Amino acid sequence: MLPLFVAATVLVSGQAAAVSTSALDLPQLGEPADNTLSPAQEKALGARVTAELYRENYTIEDPELIDYINAVGYQLAGASSTQPPPLTVFIVQDPRINAFALPGGYMGINAGTLLAANSESELAGVMGHELAHITQRHIARTVEDTEVGTIATWLAVIAAIIAGSANPDVVMGALAIGQGINYQRQVSYTRAHEQEADRIGIQTMAAAGFDPNGMASFFGKLQQQSRLYGNGIPEILLTHPLSTNRMAEATARAAELPKVRHEDSTEFALMRARARVLSSDRTSEALDYFASQLKSGRDSAENRYGLAYAQLLQSQVPAAMDTLQPLLERYPRQANIQLLNAALLAQNSRRDVALAAYERVLQMYPRYAPAVLGYAEALMNAGQPDAARQYLVGPEQPARPLPGAG
């Protein structure tokens, strides 16, 4: 992922004026965080890094995955004691476990994190931690504390940590760009931020209706993986150091909060399957994985949906329809399953039946953006571009509710 770091380094050499003409003369240590890096500058900085990720095709552009991960983010943001800026959550096409917060309300979640989470509360634990980095403005506070003088410098630092976090030399090189950085102080300050993000993140996820033990259980999973794989530790631990004390504190904080019984949504399992298919190097790998899961007796909604989706992408439409059929009967009101059925019908040249299937989903969930987009695309493919245009430019739709679980 070095192109992102190279692009950020170019910005340091003089092209950061596009962010702000005053960015090169920011106040130094001792000024309030707002004066060091204003909210508007944070937004511009996060937008620039995010744009590079999109430009280099590091993200998964899938409406259903994007809608789901943002819905979880909005649920957490709504429960936050500190109101965050408008939140944008995106999924990075990377099977490694990692997540990161950018200034200005941007949050990246690796596909591998979604696959590693055994529950929605574990996913919420990761996202709640990153949301706390955003609401507490840790980047702006770090800029103030480490005497880093320009937005351009921190753009390079952030980009390098994202793009080269598996390579310590890249990160160290980026940190060295800012003259006068005391690296030991930077590490210590980051640890303080991590502790604060853990504490606030646990409180937020509990307030949002997730089990606060999810953060500690995910920490335990990371620790186990680091022991099993030696030097091949999860990428998230390179930027989020984990210690026994940190795990114990997370467990203790969760115990102090009221118990929350959170039942995972069906959508969580289905989006895990979708993320596995879309983050695989080859779709055939995901197809083989889900086929083997079903063959071994693990006939879950996640595995059956994942196999049907992989079969669709491999143009195995009749097989995919057979695979999906039991789920259609079991979950007649689950939006993602019904949308996959509509897509299969469209691929099977049954366009009128496919349009009717999309319309049934929209009757249940008229504000569900992936259904709106899928229906418009189906109209286009059915030779009805005017109908698609009229549908898309109709009355503005408010934010959608979560699709039903079944």
Task: Tell me: do 222 and 271 sit in the same domain.
Answer: no
In a domain, 398, yes or no: no
Task: Tell me: do 249 and 150 sit in the same domain.
Answer: yes
Q: What's the CA gap between 122 and 213, in Å, rounded? A: 8
In a domain, 177, yes or no: yes
Q: Which of 280, 374, 226 shows the shortest CA–CA distance to 60?
A: 280
Whole-model pTM: value is: 0.79
**What single-letter DSSP state applies at residue 396?**
P
Task: Tell me: do 104 and 155 sit in the same domain.
Answer: yes
Parallel, antiparallel or unpaired: strands 88-92 and 99-102: unpaired
In a domain, 193, yes or no: yes
Query: Which pLDDT score, from 0 to 100, does residue 32 have?
Result: 47
What CATH number did the domain enclosing 285 receive? Answer: 1.25.40.10
Query: Which pLDDT score, from 0 to 100, does residue 174 have?
Result: 45
Q: What's the CA gap between 68 and 222, in Å, rounded? A: 24
In a domain, 404, yes or no: no
Q: How does pLDDT run across 173-211, given as a tens digit for each residue?
A: 444 443 334 334 444 446 777 888 889 999 999 999 999
Task: Tell me: do 78 and 31 sit in the same domain.
Answer: yes
In a domain, 403, yes or no: no
In a domain, 131, yes or no: yes
Active site residues: 130, 198
In a domain, 248, yes or no: yes
| The total number of structural domains that make up the chain | 2
- CA angle at residue 117 from 63 to 323, to 5 degrees? 60
CB 29 within 8 A of CB 147: yes
Listed as ranges, residues in the chain with pLDDT below 70 are 1-37, 139-190, 223-244, 394-406
State which amino acid sits at residue 54.
Y
Q: How does pLDDT run across 128-169, given as a tens digit for each residue?
A: 999 998 888 776 666 555 544 455 555 555 555 555 544 444
Query: Which pLDDT score, from 0 to 100, does residue 142 have?
Result: 65
- Domain coverage including residue 73: 2-256
φ, ψ dihedrals at 37, nearest 5° = -150, 100
Q: Examine the fold and report which residue of 256, 285, 319 is the final residue of a domain before the chain moves on.
A: 256
Task: Tell me: do 217 and 278 sit in the same domain.
Answer: no
Task: Tell me: do 130 and 242 sit in the same domain.
Answer: yes
**Assigned token pair, 157:** 């630092």
Beta bridge partners of 92: 59, 110
3-class SS of residue 108: strand
Q: Examine the fold and report which residue of 228, 256, 284 is the final residue of a domain before the chain moves on.
A: 256
User: Number of helices and strands (H, E) in the chain?
Assistant: 21, 3
Q: Which of 250, 248, 262, 267 shows the shortest CA–CA distance to 207?
A: 262
Q: Examine the fold and report which residue of 256, 281, 304 is the final residue of a domain before the chain moves on.
A: 256
In a domain, 305, yes or no: yes
